[in-house]
Amino acid sequence: MGDCTPVGLHVGILAIQGAFSEHKISLTKAIKNYQFEKPIKLSLVEVREEENLEGLDGLILPGGESTTMAIFLESNGLTQVLRNWINSDKSRVVWGTCAGLILMSNEIEGKKQGGQSQIGGLDVTTSRNFFGRQLDSFECVLDIKDSKLQENFKDSSQKGVHGVFIRAPAVLSVNSPEVKVLATVSTPSSEKPVIVGVGQRNLIATAFHPELTEDPGWHAYFLRKVLAAKIHS
């Protein structure tokens, strides 16, 4: 018989604004609904200051207003702290949703006047308000491009994997062969599919809000990456 001892995973969620509580619920649901390579004992931490990062195996940067989040991080000295934390240990898995994608992108189109600080790390160019204003929010079926990711959506064969887009960004270009496209969407206004999910080494980013759907498949995917990194580090 294999070792059934649970692996302790410590996951932080940046808790400045946005749906960080919904991320906690989705992570807990993923633990209950999915089988993983090894049993997981999950510990969740709300991150608001540097001390909260200690001992974390993974981190989620949730949605919100990216400029407000960037100003908070910069004024509290956390931009460089997070940048150093992410880069100092590649076994740490970081996932940004919506505003988190913007913060993690190396290049941003449509920055606020005077610029916008960012954490960076993803070799992509992202448009801040690609899909328009709050009134242009929508839901649609995603085209999942990664087979390992697709395996996490148990009940999606008939109804598809849904994305909730709220004043959402999108990836305009992938600027490194290290970046893998995870998901796209097709829209009437775009000649080709729009990139809305990417991964690069230990980084994941989505333009939409998986935490606002009933399906915790994206959170299971994130936890699998955190677990694999923890086991093999």
Tokens coding 218: 């994206």
58 is in an annotated binding site: no
Residue 209 annotated among the catalytic residues of the structure: yes
Q: Which of 10, 22, 98, 219 is catalytic?
A: 98
> Catalytic residue among 151, 211, 214, 232, which?
211
CB 177 within 8 A of CB 186: no
Residue 166 labelled as part of a binding site: yes
**DSSP structure string for 130-163:** TT-SGGG-EEEEEEE--HHHHTT-TTHHHH-EEE
Catalytic: which of 178, 209, 214, 232? 209
SS3 103: helix
Q: Is 128 annotated as a binding residue?
A: yes
Q: Is 167 annotated as a binding residue?
A: yes
Annotated catalytic residue 50: no
Distance CA 120, CA 220 (A): 24
Q: 66 labelled as ligand-binding?
A: yes
Q: Is 219 a catalytic residue?
A: no
- State the DSSP string of 48-65: SSGGGGTT-SEEEE--S-
Contact between 108 and 118 under an 8 Å Cβ cutoff? The reply is: yes
**Would you name the residues annotated as active-site residues?**
98, 209, 211
Binding residues: 64-66, 128, 166-167
Binding residues for L-glutamine: 64-66, 128, 166-167
